[in-house]
Chains A and B, each alone.
Chain A
Amino acid sequence: MLLEIVTPEGKAFSDDVSGVVLPGALGELGILPNHASLVSTLVAGELRYTKDGKTHDLAIGAGFAEITGSRVNVLTEMAVRDAQIDEAAVQAALERAQSRLKEDVLPEEIAAVEAAIANSLAQLHLKRKRRTI
């Protein structure tokens, strides 16, 4: 099963995997080969895929996934690996976004700021989960 993760900055991931778990809008979606065709919206969160028996994870932003029997296309605004996350920088970005939300934000910017908060939280969650183990 081909998993492709594409962000506006380019192709973030493209490889054969044996299974993938997506953060769907209605909850986590486990996708195995030959899954029924499905289009689902995604929320910011954690994407896990299994390759050669090992599970890897990525923090992704909101977007959507198109699933056909042989491939999973994930379109998202952000996709980062654990190693790429700079915890301090993300924390700072999160605080900045949260304080902006408290001040007066233009109505058209609220969605963008909220998306930024969700993205930061997804990254922090992934980073901190790894450390507690």
Chain B
Amino acid sequence: MPSTRDIRRRIKSVKNTAQITKAMQMVAAAKMKKAQDAATQGRAYVDLLNKVLVSLQERAEENVHPFFSAGQGSKTLVILITSDKGLCGAFNTNLIKKVLTSDLGPDTDFVTVGRKGGQSLARLKKSLIADFSLKDPASFPDLRPVAKLLQDKFLSGDYQKVLVAFNNFINTATISPSLEQLLPINPVTLGGKRSYEGVGQGEVVDSSKGPVLDYSFEPSTAEVFAQVLPQYVSNTLFQMLLESRASEHSSRMVAMKNATDNAKQMLKDLSLEYNKLRQAAITNELLEITTAKMALE
């Protein structure tokens, strides 16, 4: 049976833990608010870009840009966006599990954004070609090397397609691990399959409605596509990073809230036990005193 001193010590340590998790919960909540705002605001841009591209792609001639056709290679490149830090529940584990259980083809190379993904892929001895660590809050210029790397890799002809694995932010309680194709740009992923479309004011892309428009391009078709497509790729990737950051902070907040609640429950149980022990000790002492007194009389 533990002594009252042991229990006191445990109460103290649990109290400390609760304080720390509470503080981390507050920090995550503040960061979550900012990350969520960034993610929801960015959606308008990507939505419109998507919409424009859907209507452009239908009218563009074949082979107008290499991003529209599958690469010559047989390999698959997967960009895995995870967090840098832990203590965020099943955030990274679920995503990595999703990637590993998906059928990616025999030859897959990985690029990771975020330390956690890099570490676990390295443990699994996967072929990792680059590992990026981006600071928080995410900024667009930081992402540029990542976007450039994947476009170069795709254009080099070794890869058939480029996929991105990230946690899509739906709301604070729900995040969904997603695996989406980024390159070649295909109308299925473009055509409004994003789960966040319709969450904001974005309408669902439906190219079958409305008259077919015959666009003219200025300065020229090739130049317009050469500017729009890389922009589409980096902005979509950035949006995915924002979604992932918003999900990260909300899942960390939820994890820390659970930890705080558990610690509080534990404190309650421990103080009950402590008080029982204390009362037992007092009763014992009283008994001893009375017995001693009675023996003296």
By a beta-carbon cutoff of 8 Å, the part of chain A in contact with chain B is 4, 6-11, 24-26, 29, 36-41, 63-64, 66, 68-69, 73, 75, 108, 112
- For residue B45, CB closer than 8 A to chain A, the reply is yes
CA distance A73 to B45 in the complex (A): 10
Is A36 a contact partner of B216 (Cβ separation < 8 A)?
A: yes
- For residue B223, CB closer than 8 A to chain A, the reply is yes
Which of B45, B48, B148, B215 makes the CB contact (< 8 A) with A37?
B215
Beyond A39-B52, A41-B228, A64-B52, 9 additional pairs, beta carbon < 8 A: A6-B44, A7-B45, A8-B238, A10-B42, A11-B44, A39-B215, A40-B217, A75-B49, A108-B148
Say how far A98's CB is from chain B's closest CB, in angstroms.
17
Q: Which B residues touch A4, using CB under 8 A?
A: 48
> Which of chain A's residues has its CB closest to B218's CB?
A40
Say yes or no: A8-B42 contact (C-beta < 8 A), given A64-B227, A108-B148, A112-B144: yes
Interface residues of B, CB < 8 Å — how many?
29
> Which of chain A's residues has its CB closest to B226's CB?
A41
- For residue B30, CB closer than 8 A to chain A, the reply is no
Say how far A71's CB is from chain B's closest CB, in angstroms.
11
- For residue B213, CB closer than 8 A to chain A, the reply is yes
- For residue B106, CB closer than 8 A to chain A, the reply is no
Is B235 a contact partner of A8 (Cβ separation < 8 A)?
A: yes
The 4 closest A-B pairs by CB, nearest first: A10-B41, A40-B218, A37-B213, A66-B52
Is B218 a contact partner of A24 (Cβ separation < 8 A)?
A: yes
**Cβ-Cβ contact count across A and B, 8 Å cutoff:** 75
Say yes or no: A73-B52 contact (C-beta < 8 A), given A7-B45, A8-B140: yes
Say how far A72's CB is from chain B's closest CB, in angstroms.
11
Is B42 a contact partner of A41 (Cβ separation < 8 A)?
A: no
- For residue B199, CB closer than 8 A to chain A, the reply is no
Q: Which A residues touch B55, using CB under 8 A?
A: 66
Say how far A12's CB is from chain B's closest CB, in angstroms.
9
CA distance A29 to B217 in the complex (A): 13
CA distance A11 to B238 in the complex (A): 17
User: Interface of chain B, helix or strand or loop or mixed?
Assistant: helix
Say how far A32's CB is from chain B's closest CB, in angstroms.
16
- For residue B145, CB closer than 8 A to chain A, the reply is yes
Say how far A97's CB is from chain B's closest CB, in angstroms.
12
CA distance A108 to B215 in the complex (A): 32
Question: Which among B45, B49, B55, B219 has the highest number of chain A CB atoms within 10 Å?
Answer: B45
Contact with A along B22-45 (1 / 0, CB 8 A): 000000000000000000011011
Q: Which A residues touch B56, using CB under 8 A?
A: 39, 66
Q: Which B residues touch A108, using CB under 8 A?
A: 144-145, 148
> Which of chain B's residues has its CB closest to A63's CB?
B231
CA distance A7 to B99 in the complex (A): 32
- For residue B141, CB closer than 8 A to chain A, the reply is yes
CA distance A87 to B44 in the complex (A): 28
Which of B52, B141, B217, B218 makes the CB contact (< 8 A) with A75?
B52
A to B CB contacts below 8 Å, 23 in the list: A8-B42, A8-B238, A10-B42, A10-B44, A25-B218, A25-B219, A25-B223, A26-B219, A29-B218, A36-B216, A38-B215, A39-B52, A39-B56, A39-B216, A39-B224, A40-B219, A64-B227, A64-B231, A68-B213, A73-B48, A73-B51, A108-B144, A108-B145
- For residue B136, CB closer than 8 A to chain A, the reply is no
Say how far B8's CB is from chain A's closest CB, in angstroms.
53
Q: Which A residues touch B217, using CB under 8 A?
A: 38-40
Is B214 a contact partner of A40 (Cβ separation < 8 A)?
A: no
**Which residues of chain B in 194-219 are interfacial with respect to chain A, using CB atoms and an 8 Å cutoff?**
213-219
Is A40 a contact partner of B224 (Cβ separation < 8 A)?
A: yes
Which of A24, A29, A69, A75 makes the CB contact (< 8 A) with B45?
A75
CA distance A133 to B224 in the complex (A): 36
CA distance A26 to B45 in the complex (A): 24
Is B140 a contact partner of A41 (Cβ separation < 8 A)?
A: no
